Structure 1
């Protein structure tokens, strides 16, 4: 009987669930080589990629998560930080619900670029996305951006920040727990 129904395209559909899966889009932005891809790989795959491979254009990953009993299917869009990829990157801001603004605590220039990234987000997103500033590579011996300076900057722009190490995994789960909590809370207010 199932074979006949399949041939006719009439297989019964599964009944809708009371809690359908919600889709969420999270975009990572920041200068090249700050660890955007590594943060996402650490969260999605539980691993760290030792060798640096520059993202060309955009990279993509998906991970289902449960927040307050609700299943979210999170699409991660990992953007290239190189200015040469601006045109490609600019296409992915649309309909973004969450943004990770990543810099490397051992590269002061990447911290000083945050305002430029915020302006790009403001100009291109068209949404009120949840934004979290991420100071990555906190395990680096050459740290040049102290926590107090990050806290001051984030207080000025009214955003949360997390310090992470994609290498060790420190702070990664807390970062994403906060992101998904804010996304879930924002949806409940809508």
Structure 2
């Protein structure tokens, strides 16, 4: 997976993105976890620039990075969380929203157990692209359906997509909707834990 984590810095040089500190320590300890610890695979979906990586980083490390380079290919991290009173290892697969990385990300839809579908409330284009992401997931995920939440991100900015529009769309898809901001941290934890609960509940059936 050489195409994973490669990023281009401001000087145009190719560099390698390292996992976040929280994700790194979790990744190194992943194999040390007892076999009974549940592991779940979560993917992020949405146009490039909507803030998927920043939201995940905010959840994993409780901090905001104001200047974040768009994900090139796939980024990966692991975080232990408590869900319904039990330890769960969450494997995050942060998919690049850039169209040129379709062939890279299409391999990661299979065996997904939960998804974060995201748009930027200040970008109508990103909102109108949501259906195409769901179609892509259905196409490359083998038709399997997995629990998903919808996040309208960057609510700290001037918005062009109303909350009513977003909630109406979420209802048509059967998704829970959260208005989030990686900058302020609003609703980040609530959104992720709602998704984890959906995933664990479905897996227990």
How would you bin the TM-score normalised by the shorter chain? Answer: 0.7 to 0.9
Q: 2:43–2:115: 8 Å Cα contact kept in structure 1?
A: yes
Match of 1:149 among 160, 165, 168: 165
Structure 2 CA distance for aligned equivalents of residues 52 and 67 of structure 1: 29
Return 5+ residue gaps in structure 1 as ranges: 1-15
Q: Per-residue displacement from partner, 1:91-146 (whole Å, max 9, x unpaired)?
A: 11111101101100000000000010010011111322111111000110x20000
- 2:64 matched residue in structure 1: 48
Answer whether contact 2:150 2:178 (CA < 8 A) is retained: yes
Q: TM-score, normalised by structure 2?
A: 0.81
Give the Cα separation in 1 of the matches to 2:204 and 2:74: 30
In structure 1, the residue matched to 2:111 is 95
Quote the residue 1:8 is aligned against. none
Q: Deviations over 1:10-69 (max 9, x none)?
A: xxxxxx97x810110000010010000001000011111110301000000100011112
Correspondence 1:139 to 2:139: no
What's the offset of the Cα at 1:70?
1.6
SS for the counterpart of 2:67 is: coil
Q: Is the 8 A contact 1:25 1:76 kept in 2?
A: yes
**Contact in 1 for aligned 2:54/2:68 (Cα 8 Å):** no
Shift of 1:182: 0.6
Residue 95 of structure 2 is aligned with which of 79, 84, 89?
A: 79
User: Pairwise CA RMSD of aligned residues?
Assistant: 1.4
SS in 1 for 2:108: coil
Alignment: residue pair count: 172
Bigger drift between 164-173 and 126-135 goes to 126-135
Q: TM-score, normalised by structure 1?
A: 0.87
Cα pair 2:155 2:180 within 8 Å, conserved: yes
Q: CA deviation at 1:159?
A: 1.5
Give structure 2 stretches of 5+ with no counterpart: 1-32
